[in-house]
Chain A
Amino acid sequence: MDPSLFPLFGLFTVLLLVTGLYCVVATRNFIRLLIGLEIVTKGVTLLIILGGYLSGHMALAQALAITLIVIEVVVIAIAAGIVIAIYRKNGSLDANLMKNLKG
């Protein structure tokens, strides 16, 4: 295992996480928010695999990555269903216009 890989991969993992977080924070469109969440999950998956590669625990890292991917797909599927339901109810995907629950 080559420990010198960590700075390069670590930097790009952080950049992926920041890109995804920026997308989640800065967008008003619900679908783009889900895309941001996806990008964050990709960064985390890369970090798990990188940790497994550098430490030699590849089997465990792959098992955790597979678990994460399964959770990710279910979350996105349910969130997409909620987005479609929101669109059917409100006619828009703009988060600023969602004032149904405002007290």
Chain B
Amino acid sequence: MNLMLLTAMLLAALWAVFTRTLLKSAIALALASVLLTVIMFQLKSPLAAVFELSVCAGLITVVFVSTISLTQPQSDAQVLAHAGQRLRRYWFLPVLLALVVVGLDCAHLPLDFTPPTPEEAGLDVRNVLWNMRPTDLLGQVIIILAGVFGVVVLFKEKA
């Protein structure tokens, strides 16, 4: 089950990268977000999964579709020409990837996971977020404010 979900998510990501149409790419990205949500539910992370579904599969897809509709895409001839050049220019990347995977496998990295204390194991996500990581929340608030002001300035109509 996990293998099927992971494979489907990777295929959706590859479709998003290699498809010629930007709209299909945005939809493939939304599909990858949905599959990641299911995987996160499998890994016992319901709150993060709901965030991923609503924000990434929903809001970010809307942002991408809006951006695509406000900009004119390349013509089919331009897309084909660039796709051909891209394959010729980056042929060495799969070889490099294979070498990195072999290198990591040979490195035998120590992956020791420290088990949680009983107090930590009983913590709720909301408790951790609001009580243990207030600096993260402050950072999120500042980033959201920065985002709002940025969008207002970027889309401001010139007088």
Contacts and interface: CB of A to CB of B under 8 A. Distances in A.
Interface in A2-56: 3, 5-6, 8-9, 12, 14-16, 18-20, 22-23, 25-29, 31-32, 34-36, 38-39, 42, 45-46, 49-56
A66 interface: yes
Contacts of A58: 44-45, 125
A80 B63 contact: yes
> Chain B interface mostly helix, strand, loop or mixed?
helix
A100 interface: no
A73 B123 CA distance: 27
B110 interface: no
A22 B90 contact: yes
Q: Which of the four size classes fits the interface of chain B?
A: 35 or more
Contacts of B52: 45, 65, 69
27 contacts: A5-B2, A9-B2, A15-B10, A19-B14, A34-B64, A35-B17, A35-B29, A46-B36, A59-B123, A59-B127, A60-B133, A62-B45, A66-B51, A72-B56, A74-B144, A74-B147, A76-B64, A77-B150, A78-B154, A80-B63, A80-B64, A81-B155, A83-B67, A84-B70, A87-B71, A93-B73, A94-B74
A26 to B, nearest CB: 5
Given A39-B13, A74-B144, A66 B151 contact: no
A62 B127 CA distance: 11
Contacts of B36: 42, 45-46
A78 B26 CA distance: 17
A42 B13 contact: yes
Interface string B55-78: 110011001101110111110000
Interface of B: 2-3, 6-7, 9-10, 13-14, 16-17, 22, 25-26, 29, 32-33, 36, 39-40, 43-45, 47-48, 51-52, 55-56, 59-60, 63-64, 66-68, 70-74, 82, 86, 89-90, 93, 97, 101, 111, 113-116, 120-121, 123-125, 127-129, 132-133, 136, 139-140, 143-144, 146-147, 150-151, 154-155
B6 A9 contact: yes
